[in-house]
Chain A
Amino acid sequence: MKFGIIIFPGTWSDKDCYYSLKDILRQKVDYIWHKETDLSEYDCVVLPGGFSYGDYLRPGAIARFSPVMASLERFAAEGKLVIGICNGFQILCESGLLPGALLRNVHLEYRCQWTHLKVENISTAFTSRCQNGKALKIPISHYEGRYYADEATLSELEADKRVVFRYSTPTGQVTESANPNGSLRNIAGIINKRGNILGMMPHPERSCEPLLGSIDGNVIWESIIASI
């Protein structure tokens, strides 16, 4: 199995994703420049965090027009796995591959902090190695991470069990005080209908080593690896 990590101008989580996948999880992994269009080698494509095009206009609004995005759509249509982290999640929403939008944090401040995620659906390709009821400790780092969608979309997401992660307490209680950015219904990550595209604001690539404070991000990567 092989991972591909897309780099847009302004992306910066590319190296962290690469390091975690290659050096911690011992996977094959390549960088993909945003102007490339051939994704046929890859089983899973990562859209990493950062500030693609400086987040000018809106986060992800310019990156969605990069040449690689049309290929990514076809890649996803084949049922292959796509994970968008932070800015990657924003790009997926901007390009319509995932519903909803990421708005400015409710307190209008950038936040870099540890969060806990309740895993709401452990039967996805991204969460099969998670344990029911055990919250994951994974950090966020964003200014625009407040998940928003209209009521109908939210209800549909929930009915289809497509809300995968919610911000919670360390013991998995979904509370208002555990919500770091004002996301509707504490949503931290969702999947598409087919279940092969995940978008999440927290950074699993930052929580893969005990030295850095958590290894819970590995569960997500291991789930992906196991599902291929």
Chain B
Amino acid sequence: MPVSKEKLDEVALSEKEYQLIVERLGREPTEVELGMFGALWSEHCGYKHSRALLRQFPSKSKRVLVKPGEENAGVIDIGDGLVIIMKIESHNHPSAIEPYQGAATGVGGIVRDIFTMGARPIALMNSLRFGSLTDSRNRYLFGGVVGGIAGYGNCLGIPDIGGEIYFADCYSGNPLVNALCLGIAEAKHLVRARAHGEGNLLMLVGADTGRDGLHGASGLASRTFEDERELRSAVQVGNPFLEKLLIEACLELAKTDWIAGMQDLGAAGLTSSAVESASRGGGGIEIDVLKAPRREKGMTPYEVMLSESQERMLVVVKKGYEGKVKALFDRWELRSDIIGRVTGGGLVRIKEGKKTVAEVPVNVLSSSPVYRKRVKKPEWINRLQSFDVNSTPDLPRKKVKSALLRLLASPNIASKNCVYRQYDHQVGNNTVVVPGSDAAVLRIKGTKKAISLTTDGNGRYCYVNPYLGGVIAVSEAARNLACSGAQPLAITDCLNFGNPEKDDVYYQLKECIAGMARASREFKIPVISGNVSLYNETRGEAVYPTPVVGMVGLIEDVAEHCTSGFKNEGDLVFLLGEGNIIDSSIGSSEYLELIHGMIKGNPYIDLELEKRLQRCCLEAIKRGLINSAHDCAEGGLAVALAESCLANRIGFVSSEWEIQGRLDAALFGEAQSRIVASIAPKSSWKLLKLADRYQIAATKLGVVGGKRFILKGYMDLSLKEIEEAWRGGLEELL
């Protein structure tokens, strides 16, 4: 073989893959071609190990106008001529190396994915995972990531409406930084990411091309890495101001009929955006790398094609309109250069002046191999699942108070306000429910509608049981939307896993996707976009299998939205849903890890019950019966009640609870399918009737009021005490 092992390593291709390339081309690839194959056949761009599994996800519903795959993201019709688009993407490895820029460019990349389709980005969210903040390196990563998200996102004028932040040791050194962006467009102004129409021109817009980010897709995102220093140059530096100009200019352009398509430059830079748009357009392209403006002298064609310099767009300009398009970009003080054209031959031809440096059929480049593995359940997962709850002593009554305070102060549960106040979550004048409730709510101007947005994914559940963890991630996201009064519309997912070439990791990936697919089908929610981030490992140890489910829902009338906080003195509090709390529901709970130092025991969910519960909750909100709804999640019932008190600083007094089984399971167990709702006493009979109709248990828990949090016979705390624990838990560690 004429290519060295080192060279193949650099582009992250195996010898087998190299031979496949030679076979398909009928010759050895040139250096530029090899680099392009490496990028496009990387896990990040080519989804080699996940594509076969991802096919299980449902992608259709009557609201899906454009299916995922046809474009950067699927498109959802919300009526009134409006559509929404959303996508989530990881920037884990760049953030592990350079947290500020890694996170900042993660935001920049996902925003480009949205406005490239002609949609105005109206919301950002982030799902973050870090190692324990007692470690100074993790504090540095945390501060850098939050700073980068704030620094980039705030400059764009797109509200960042929250998301989630969790901590576990497995993320130490390999944080997860997932960024979600949602955009809205008039259906008629959607732009396709396809290079079609022979003779149309390819225009590169925005930043100059530099040597930054070479091998980002193939190296950084598609394998594990040991020495961060060697890869620092693979992290790009963001320029949010330039991005803001690109947003405005491209959205203006989207309303004209001067262009045939538009595609952002993300992972694998010009290579992937050119080849992907050619592939969608069905034709070919020709690019002269000498025409691309460069940041540095002496850049080779290889470097130009693989640079991941940020804030660049590839616009397919209809022939004859190039003057108009250029004038538009000039007005925004953006550089634009014609670098090539659409051809008819189905070939990607890269030239350097007159010399051809690469010439490959589009379909060969864009069809990476698909890998499947036969794997069986690892023995260690069996051990995690076989948990005998009786081997752990129940919580004594006198320790209930301190356990609650510890849970509230746990960074996983504690208030994230010290983070969210650093993000502009109000710009745009749409944010009705700010970060901190179960789901954020944005109204849609010019209509009565609102959308609700959430991200969810419990890595601990997935570690113990990847399948159920996947089911629960989707179910919980839908439940969060239900608590805000929104009917789920669509999912975008980010799958953060370890090295899929290892059997155990592949098993986790396979099971988790199967679980998510099952729940998505049950709830009839299509998956419209997503991203796979594999190779999240440090020193051979994989992170928890962590699927992040971003879900958007529709509220037909914004006046009918609901929030998680108690509102009125005297309202009755009910627990809707799973009434039968089994002792083993402390399995995999925050409580079990925090108080007993154990990560064990299956989570549990009954999907039929879950569906009935969500439908019941939605109807109760729509009919205006309930005044608050809050999902019981990490920390269980006691924490959910405390959080509902803290939202508006109003107390709760329980009725006399008769706890049958274990005390810890009743108070802190994480049985799914439970919602804490408050309701005016005069309406309670209606709620009971409704619950009965849906065959949902509705258990009266107590009354809203006062300035104390009282569980009769178990604890009596002032709101001030629980607030101090909850507000300070995270902030004090920083």
> Do A and B interact with each other, yes or no?
yes
Cβ of A16 under 8 Å from chain B: yes
Cα distance A59–B431 when bound, in Å?
26
Q: Tell whether, in the assembled complex, residue A109 and residue B432 are in contact, meaning their CB atoms are under 8 Å apart.
A: no
Interchain CB contact under 8 A, B244 and A10: yes
Nearest B residue (CB) for A20 = B429
- Residue of chain A at shortest CB distance from B244: A10
B 425-478 contacts with A by CB, 8 A = 425-429, 431-432, 443, 445
Q: Which of B245, B423, B428, B443 contacts A16 (CB 8 A)?
A: B428
Kindly state whether residue B617 has any CB partner on chain A within 8 Å: no
- Give which listed residue, B240, B332, B333, B427, contacts A141 with CB less than 8 A: B427
A12 with B431: CB separation less than 8 A? no
Residues from chain A with Cβ under 8 Å of B333 in the complex: 9
Determine the distance from Cα of A10 to Cα of B243 in the docked complex, in whole angstroms: 9
Choose the segment among B130-138, B149-157, B504-512 that binds chain A (4+ C-beta atoms closer than 8 Å): B149-157
CB-nearest residue of chain B relative to A53? B241
Q: Tell me if B424 counts as interface (CB < 8 A to partner A).
A: yes
Closest Cβ of chain B to A209, distance in Å, is 8
Contact residue among A23, A53, A206 (Cβ-Cβ distance under 8 Å from B426): A206
Pick the contact of A54 from B155, B421, B445 — CB < 8 Å? B155
CB <8 Å contact, A54 and B157: no
For B421, the closest partner residue in chain A by CB is: A113
A112 to chain B, nearest CB (A): 5
Cα distance A19–B430 when bound, in Å?
A: 11
Across the interface, which residues of B come within 8 angstroms of A9, CB to CB? 241, 244-245, 332-333
Please determine whether B426 and A212 come into contact, CB atoms closer than 8 angstroms: yes
Query: Which B294-352 residues sit within 8 Å CB-CB of chain A?
Result: 332-333
Which B residues lie within 8 Å of A112 (CB)? 154, 421-426
Q: Which residues of B contact A15 (CB under 8 A)?
A: 428-429
B163 vs chain A, min Cβ distance (A): 15
> Would you give the shortest CB distance from B250 to chain A, in whole angstroms?
14
Residues of B near A10 (CB, < 8 A) are: 155, 241, 244-245
A222 in the interface, Cβ–Cβ < 8 Å? no
CB contacts (< 8 Å) of B445 on chain A: these are 19, 23
Number of B residues, CB within 8 Å of A: 28
The residue on A at minimum CB distance from B435 is A112
Nearest-CB distance from B232 to chain A (Å)?
24
Q: Could you say which residues of chain A place their CB within 8 Å of the CB of B155? A: 10, 51, 54-55
What are the residues of chain A within 8 A of B427 when measuring CB–CB? 12-13, 16, 141, 206
Residue among B242, B244, B422, B424 with the highest chain A CB neighbour number at 10 A: B424
Contact B150 A12 (CB under 8 A): no
Q: Is the CB of B426 within 8 A of A139?
A: yes
Query: Is A75 an interface residue, CB under 8 A from the partner?
Result: no
For the complex formed, measure the closest distance between the CB of A25 and the CB atoms of chain B, giving whole angstroms.
Answer: 13
A214 CB to nearest chain B CB (Å): 11
Q: Which A residue sits closest to B427, measured CB to CB? A: A12
Least CB distance from B728 to A in Å reads 16
Q: How far is the CB of A14 from chain B (nearest CB, A)?
A: 9
Contact among B157, B332, B429 with A50 in the assembled complex (CB-CB below 8 Å): B157
Q: Is B239 an interface residue (CB 8 A)?
A: yes
CA separation between A42 and B369, bound complex, in Å? 63
B547, chain A: closest CB distance, angstroms: 29
Cα(A155)–Cα(B332), bound, Å: 42
Q: A161 in the interface, Cβ–Cβ < 8 Å?
A: no
Instruction: Kindly report which residue of chain B lies nearest to residue A111, judged by CB atoms.
Output: B421
For residue B443, which residues in chain A have a CB less than 8 angstroms away from its CB? 211
CA distance A10 to B424 in the complex (A): 15
**Contact present for A211 and B558 (CB under 8 Å):** yes
Q: How far is the CA of A56 from the CA of B424 in the complex (A)?
A: 19
Max chain A CB contacts within 10 Å: which of B242, B426, B431?
Answer: B426
CB distance from A114 to the nearest CB of B (A): 9
Q: Please determine whether B150 and A110 come into contact, CB atoms closer than 8 angstroms.
A: yes
Q: Which residues of B contact A56 (CB under 8 A)?
A: 241
Given contacts A19-B445, A111-B422, A112-B422, contact A51 B429 (CB under 8 A): no
Partner of A19, one of B151, B156, B423, B429: B429
CB neighbours of B239 from chain A (8 A): 54
Question: Across the two chains, which residue of chain B brings its CB closest to A211?
Answer: B432
**What is the minimal beta-carbon distance from B478 to any residue of chain A, in angstroms?**
25
Check A212 against B423 for contact (C-beta < 8 Å): no
- Which residues of A have CB within 8 Å of B431? 212
A143 at the A/B interface (Cβ < 8 Å)?
yes
Decide yes or no whether A216 CB sits under 8 A from chain B.
no
Contacting pair B241 A54 (CB below 8 A): yes
With beta carbons under 8 angstroms apart, the residue of B156, B424, B426, B432 that contacts A110 is B424
A94 located at the interface, meaning its Cβ lies under 8 Å from any Cβ of chain B in the complex: no
Closest partner residue, chain A, to B429 (CB atom): A16
Is there an interface contact between A205 and B429, defined as CB atoms closer than 8 Å? yes
In the complex, what residue of chain B is closest to A205 when comparing beta carbons? Answer: B429
B154 with A54: CB separation less than 8 A: no
Within A188-204, the residues touching B (CB, 8 Å) are 203
Tell me the bound Cα distance from A56 to B244 in angstroms: 14
Residues of B146-176 at the interface with A, using a CB-CB cut-off of 8 Å, are: 150-151, 154-157
Hey, which chain A residues are within 8 Å of B426, CB to CB?
112, 139, 141, 203, 206, 212
CB-CB nearest in chain B for A17 = B429
B-side contacts of A143, CB under 8 Å = 154
Residues of A within 8 A of B428 (CB): 15-16
Q: Once the chains bind, are B154 and A110 in contact (CB under 8 Å)?
A: yes
Which partner residue on chain A sits nearest B422 by CB separation? A110
Q: Which A residues touch B154, using CB under 8 A?
A: 51, 110, 112, 141, 143
Neighbouring B residues of A212 by C-beta, 8 Å: 426, 429, 431-432
Q: Tell me the complex Cα distance, A159–B57, Å.
A: 68
Q: Is the CB of A13 within 8 A of B157?
A: yes
Docked pose: A50 CA to B245 CA in angstroms:
12
- A2 and B154 CA atoms in complex are apart in Å by 30
- Which of A19, A20, A54, A208 is close to B240, meaning CB atoms less than 8 Å apart? A54
Could you tell me the distance between the alpha carbons of A109 and B421 in the complex, rounded to whole angstroms? 9
Q: For residue B244, which residues in chain A have a CB less than 8 angstroms away from its CB?
A: 9-10, 12, 51, 54
CB of A224 to closest CB in B, whole Å: 19
Expressed in whole angstroms, the Cα–Cα distance for A181 and B596 within the complex equals: 41
Contact across chains for A12 and B429 when beta carbons are under 8 A apart:
no
Query: CA of A205 to CA of B423 in the docked complex: distance in angstroms?
Result: 18
Chain A residue, CB-CB nearest to B242: A54
B649 to chain A, nearest CB (A): 13
A205 to B422, CA, bound (A): 20
Question: How near does chain A come to B146, taking the closest CB pair, in angstroms?
Answer: 9
Interface residues of A in 125-148 (CB under 8 A from B): 139, 141, 143
Judging by beta carbons under 8 Å apart, are A141 and B424 in contact? yes
- A53 vs chain B, min Cβ distance (A): 7
Which residues 66-89 in A have Cβ within 8 Å of B in the complex?
A: none
* Bound-complex Cα distance A19 to B426 (A): 14
Give B159's nearest chain A residue, CB to CB. Answer: A112
* Chain B residue, CB-CB nearest to A180: B421
Give A129 Cβ to nearest chain B Cβ, in Å: 21
A218 to chain B, nearest CB (A): 13
19 contacts between A and B (CB under 8 A): A9-B333, A10-B244, A13-B427, A50-B157, A51-B154, A51-B155, A54-B242, A54-B244, A55-B155, A109-B422, A110-B151, A110-B423, A111-B421, A141-B154, A143-B154, A203-B426, A206-B427, A209-B429, A211-B432
Which 9 pairs of residues, A with B, have the shortest CB-CB distance? A12-B157, A54-B241, A51-B155, A16-B429, A112-B424, A141-B424, A110-B422, A110-B150, A113-B421
Additional pairs, 18, CB under 8 Å, beyond known A9-B333, A16-B428, A110-B151: A9-B241, A10-B245, A12-B244, A16-B429, A51-B154, A51-B244, A54-B239, A55-B155, A110-B154, A110-B423, A110-B424, A112-B422, A112-B423, A143-B154, A205-B429, A206-B426, A209-B429, A211-B443
